[in-house]
Every structure is written in structure tokens, then in C-alpha cells.
Chain A
């Protein structure tokens, strides 16, 4: 039955989002024939780098049944603190060092979340709302408020190194920077962690039933501390990636994009209630969110419309599967009656 297959296909959030994205791309392509090209895809990848890295950290938190809104503040703090530290000490530092230092600072800030949430058992939304404000405030008060534009030469040269360069239909140059490797590595790490380790299964288990996890001997507090440390580390990497893309350290950046990232993860199939979510879905969600944000902009649609479209997509992507499920149950009931 083709109808049945169609509704089944729409019964997962990823499918709805993918279908919407394809439809969306086709509409744009109708106005702008050059849109459907490899160049567009490369541009999309570049634009979704930071969202994608952040999203993978958020995925881990959502899978465990928690929520994190502090990760952008962690990213900004880690990135800016790393830069002012290195510039202040004025010692040569290999490019890898910038990422490692930023990741370590991110891990430390994540540990604060982890101790409050895992160690003291406080609610995740409240804690991360608090630390969002705390980390941002601490950054601006104690670390600095000025833009750092004279970034070290090796950072600039890293930022200029491209994996891929292409010309798009109208002759503009699009390129994929070397920092794409960060996304690839984080993706591999998170996929490995979530799918191939018992730790990853414990995260999903806690998201499914925290009490159940405790009863089978999972050390829930310890797992939670690690979740936020890892999410913080990933946020630190995302912050540094953002810095290399913009080639300057702006302490006011990133904060404010939390909901965009959380929306990407939810569109990718993770549930706010925990226990669900995949790496592929999350990356797909990040691409779709970026596609909407950038292509609408390039099509000359006012940026407020992006919010409208993203909002509709969230309601549709999470609501449609629920409605389809309800409809399927209703039909099942009628089918039982017919027997």
C-alpha cells in the first residue's frame, strides 16, 4: 500500500526534516538553477561546522535525558580565554595547542556543570541556565571584552588552509577549511562513544529510565559528570573552530545561538525527554538548520523569516511523527474490531 509506506516514512522526525529540506532545496533551485551543485554542498558544510560540533555535544546530553543551554558560553569562554592566555604569555604555540587548551578549559567548565548535576543531583535546565549566565559574565568581567584581531600567524595560516576549493555557478569561490577535520574527529569520537562503548549504552539507559539505570548498578552520578565534561570539551573545540573561521576572537560571539543548536539536535531525532538520538540524525539536523538560515539569506528573504521557517519545521518535525503514531494506533483499533 503506497499510502501506508508514505506515512511510515514520515513517522520519524529525521524523515520529515529530510523531506522538508529536499523540498526546500528544490524550491530554491527553481529560482536559482545554480543552486543544486557540489559548490553549494561544500558551502553548506563550511557554514554548519560550528553548529555541527556543538550539536554533537548537545546530543550526548539530550540522550541522557538532560538539557544543556550553557555550551555556547563554554565555547566562547574557552576560545577567548585560550587566545588571551596565549597572546598574554606571548609564547609560540602550535595550532594543535590552541585546540587542546580550549578543549581543556571547556572540560573544566563542563566539570562545573557535571558536579552540580551529577554530584549534587540538581536539575539540568536550572544548572545550565545558571552557568550560561555565570560563564558569560565571568568571561566579560574577568577575562576581557575587547576583540582580539591580531591573532598569531599560525592561526591565520591554519584558517587559510583549505581542503577543497570550488567555483560556484556565479563564479564565487567556495572552500572547505581544514577545520572541517575537527568536525570529522568529533563525529567519529561521539559515534564511537555512543555506539561501541558500554558507557554510551549507559547514557541511553539513563535517558530511558534513570531509576532503572541505578537499579542495575550503573553509577548514574559518575556517568553524568562525564557527560557534561565531554559536552564541555566539545564546546571548547567548537569555540576554537569558530575563532579560526572568523580569524578573530570575539567574546560576544556564540552566546545566543543555543536554541538554534538544540533545534538542530531535536530535528535530528533526539528527544527532549531523553533516551533517543543518533549521530547521523544530529548532523542532518545541523545541515538542515544551516541550509535554511543561509539559503533564505542568500535568496534575499529577511532574516526574521528564518526564525518562522525553523519554528514551523520544529513543530512539524516533532509533531507529525506523534500524530502519525496516534493515527496508526487508531487504525489498529479499528482493524482489531474488523476481525
Chain B
């Protein structure tokens, strides 16, 4: 066995009386790509904080490249560890070159800023990765995938030997994921070790040699990727068998459509869209980022106006100049990014649930609380009460708060954009069940997603969107996963 570049052993950590990590150990050899898998709340983030020296462990040792790190972020960086956070932690106002060089110059405690040297370092590093990005560009102007590459380059420029990546593929399209995989394997050959933190099973198998599974603060499984399959990984992460198949259901009733769209077009976003959304039916709109799926969904909710076409509700033509008009017609919209668009993070759970239903001028505190408590119970939101801020909840539970808010309005059409992004496997299934139940109670449900597994598990009908057009409509019970995948990723026919 080669000398490990990273080793952790006997790590314990507790916040107050809550034990977050118990006897956790982890090792990484040069050129190894290991996946750290676990649900939200399993202790993954705490482990990363200890690893990167941001938070000290109560017990146990961390050593990187033979050096012991004890709660010192600078020492961890100097020893060759780089963490690439989900938000990349870049400086939008600085150039690519400055972003790449700043970590190294800070770690080396350099006194001077040398623009030319920064540029050279950036060029060399990007070339080593085989990436073509202009070092003089401001980072804020780069697309998401390029930002991630800059973050990796920044780590490499500082001679990183271990790169920790937190949920690296969340914001990437298929082709960008493939490019990332290529870069990772090239760097791996150069001896760089990676620790991928993830709960997406597909990417775990696409990238990793070895897997460590964390559950409730303990390592519950550790082995080579070959020893795992999707089912086992899900089982280890959740502690129970997880259904990845389609949820059993009665066929959707063929009610007259609640909402009909005909020939809906918006220049640059989508064209010639026909839609029928019926009460009691779950329809998925599946497309990649940039396919126009979000713009179309927003048009149905009055946030983006179409240039052409018509929308009918209950057979009568309607026009939604704003979201308020769409809400009045019985439509609810759950946005893609619940953290910035959907939730008031530092407000209590109860207020977050009630905010969309406040219409009369007077509030009854007691009635509002009662309603929130019922919603929490019905959606099985894990929380000690309705008073804590939403920020204290895990991703899956936050998403349930958003659902609870809109379900309080008893909408006739519920549009959900990426309903389980950043939600762990166990919660995902439960959210799907909640949505299916909602639909069967008579609500039309439209799910906008790029998660093919989600579309198959949840929907009655699937619409595929490619480059602004609906290129296929399928019965979810009949289409195969591979076929659907091919449909979604194929280029638009001219």
C-alpha cells in the first residue's frame, strides 16, 4: 500500500450534546479518487470542515502529506489541501489570473502583487489542465462550468495534492460533466488525489475508485467502487432499502385539462409549445440547462411573458401580466433555487409556511401556528417545532417547507422547478410521494427537471424539451431510461 497523502483517524466531534462524528477514519493515496457519500445531516460537511482546518476535531488526528493539521486552515492549505466548495468561493470582481494566483500567494505570504507572474501562473496551470480560458476575463463573466475549472486551477496552482470537491456536478450539463471527468482522470495520472463529496449515485460511479459511506456520523461502508452498486450505496446511505423504481399508482384520470397552452413562443427561449395539464396528472418537462424549460415554466406563472401563443385556464383564454394574476388563477410555482428564491432562511418555519396564504389584513397568531404545526406533521418535516429558522433544517426538510407553503393555498396547478435538487435520496422519495398524492387529490402537477430518474419515478407523462422545442412526449410507464436519456441529450433537429 502506498503512503497515504491524506489520513484521518479516530475523529470525534460534538456540538454541545449532539454527537456529529464518531470514530471516523479516512485515507487517500496519491492518484486516488474517493467518494465520500452520505445523506444531508450524515456529518459530511463537518468532516470537511475538520479536514480543511476550519473547525478543530474534539479527538483524533488529521494528517496531510505527512503533516498534522489541527484546526488551522492555513496549515491545511500549505500542506497541499484544497477544498472546492459548491459555490466555488471565487472572487467575481477579480480576473481569472488573480483568482488562480491569490491562493498560492496568500499561502506563501507573498508581499507583492505581480500581475505578470499571476498571468503566467494562470496560463501554465490552465494549460496543464488542457483548458482554454482567457486569464484576463473577470470571473463574474464566466459560465458556471468555467468557474469550476478556475477553482480547480486555483487549487493546482498552489500545488494541491488533495482536492476536495463538494457536490461538483450539481450545476453542470452532461457534456460538462464528461469534460470534468476527463480533467480529473488526467490529474489523477499526475498523482493528484480527489475526495468527492456527493449523494448523486450516478456521479459516484462515474468518477470514483473507492467509496466511503457516512451515516449518522459513522463510517458504515468503505471499499472499492466495484463492491458497490446503486442499490447497495442507497441502502448504506439511508440505512434502509431505497426504491429507485417508479412509484406504483393508479392511472391518471382523464379529466378535462385545467391549463392549455397552444403555440407558445418566446424569442430566444422556446417556440411552438403545446401543453395540456390535467387535474390528477403529473407531467414532467425534462430538458438540460438552457433548453428553455425554466423560461417556459415561468411563462405559465406570469413571470416571463411569451411573445406569441395563447394560454387557457378551464377553457377560457387568460393572460398573466404578473405572478399575482397566475396565483389568483390557482397556479403555484416552486422555484429552482429554494435558498435564494423560495425561502426566508432566517425566518421561522411557521412564517415561511404561512407567507403565501396571508391575504386578510389581520393575523391570528394562534391560527397561523396551528396551521403550520399541521403542515409540519402532514409533510413529516423533521424539526423540534415551528419556531426555529428554516436555515436550521436539512435540504430535504427545507424543500418540504416550500411545498407546505404552496399546498396551503390548495393550488389547482403546481409547477415545481427541480423539486429535489440538493435533496438526499431518502427525502427525495418522500417528496415524490407527497407530489403524487397531491396530484391524485386533484391538482395538476408540472415538474421541471433534468433528473431523468426523477421524471421516470414520479410522472405519468414526460415531455422532452431540446433547444426551446418539445421534441417528444412519452408515457412514463413505458419509456426506458436509456431511450429517455438519449432523447434529452440529443441535439435539436434543424
Contacts and interface: CB of A to CB of B under 8 A. Distances in A.
A205 B91 CA distance: 6
Nearest to A193: B113
Interface string B238-277: 0000000000000000000000000000011100000000
Interface in A148-207: 195-198, 200-202, 204-205, 207
B268 A216 contact: no
A5 interface: no
A4 interface: no
B267 A204 contact: no
A205 B101 CA distance: 12
Interface string A206-224: 0111011111111000000
A334 B269 CA distance: 9
Contact of B102 (A196, A205, A275, A334): A205
B106 A337 contact: no
A276 interface: yes
B83 interface: yes
A337 B467 CA distance: 10
A276 B112 CA distance: 20
A337 B265 CA distance: 11
A213 B73 CA distance: 12
B85 A215 contact: yes
Nearest to A337: B268
B98 interface: yes
Contact of A209 (B77, B89, B105, B112): B89
A276 B267 contact: no
Contact of A337 (B77, B90, B98, B267): B267
B111 A198 contact: yes
Nearest to B93: A275
A176 to B, nearest CB: 32
B92 A201 contact: no
B112 A197 contact: yes
B393 interface: no
B116 to A, nearest CB: 12
A294 to B, nearest CB: 33
B267 A198 contact: no
A211 B94 contact: no
B92 A208 contact: yes
Q: Which of B94, B105, B107, B269 has the most CB of A within 10 A?
A: B94
Contacts of B98: 201
B113 A215 contact: no
Interface in B57-100: 73-74, 77, 83, 85, 89-94, 98
A204 B106 contact: no
Contacts of A274: 93
B92 A275 contact: yes
A243 B54 CA distance: 49
A216 B93 contact: no
B73 A197 contact: no
B221 interface: no
B94 A205 contact: yes
Contacts of A202: 102, 106
A333 B111 CA distance: 44
Contact of A276 (B54, B73, B85, B93): B93
Nearest to A219: B74
B478 interface: no
B103 interface: yes
Nearest to A218: B106
B17 to A, nearest CB: 27
A217 B107 contact: yes
A304 B382 CA distance: 60
Nearest to B154: A216
A198 B93 contact: no
A336 B89 CA distance: 30
A204 B91 contact: yes
A218 B109 CA distance: 9
B110 interface: yes
Given A205-B102, A334-B268, A198 B92 contact: no
Nearest to B91: A208
A191 to B, nearest CB: 12
Given A196-B113, A198-B113, A212 B89 contact: yes
Contact of B89 (A201, A216, A337): A216
A217 B77 contact: yes
Interface in A5-47: none
B319 to A, nearest CB: 22
Contacts of B74: 217
A207 B112 CA distance: 19
A53 to B, nearest CB: 24
B112 A196 contact: yes
A208 B268 contact: no
B144 to A, nearest CB: 16
Nearest to A274: B93
Interface in A60-116: none
A166 B93 CA distance: 43
B391 to A, nearest CB: 15
A196 B114 CA distance: 7
A213 B98 CA distance: 13
Given A216-B89, A337-B268, A204 B103 contact: no
A217 B107 CA distance: 7
Contacts of A197: 111-113
Interface of B: 54, 73-74, 77, 83, 85, 89-94, 98, 102-103, 105-107, 110-113, 267-269
26 contacts: A197-B112, A198-B102, A198-B112, A198-B113, A200-B113, A202-B106, A205-B94, A205-B102, A208-B91, A208-B93, A209-B91, A212-B90, A214-B73, A215-B89, A216-B89, A216-B103, A217-B77, A218-B106, A275-B92, A275-B93, A275-B94, A333-B269, A334-B267, A336-B268, A337-B268, A337-B269
7 cross-chain pairs, A with B, having the tightest CB-CB distances, nearest first:
A275-B93, A337-B268, A208-B91, A212-B89, A208-B93, A333-B268, A337-B267
Given A196-B113, A215-B89, A217-B103, 6 more contacts: A198-B112, A201-B94, A207-B93, A208-B92, A216-B89, A334-B267
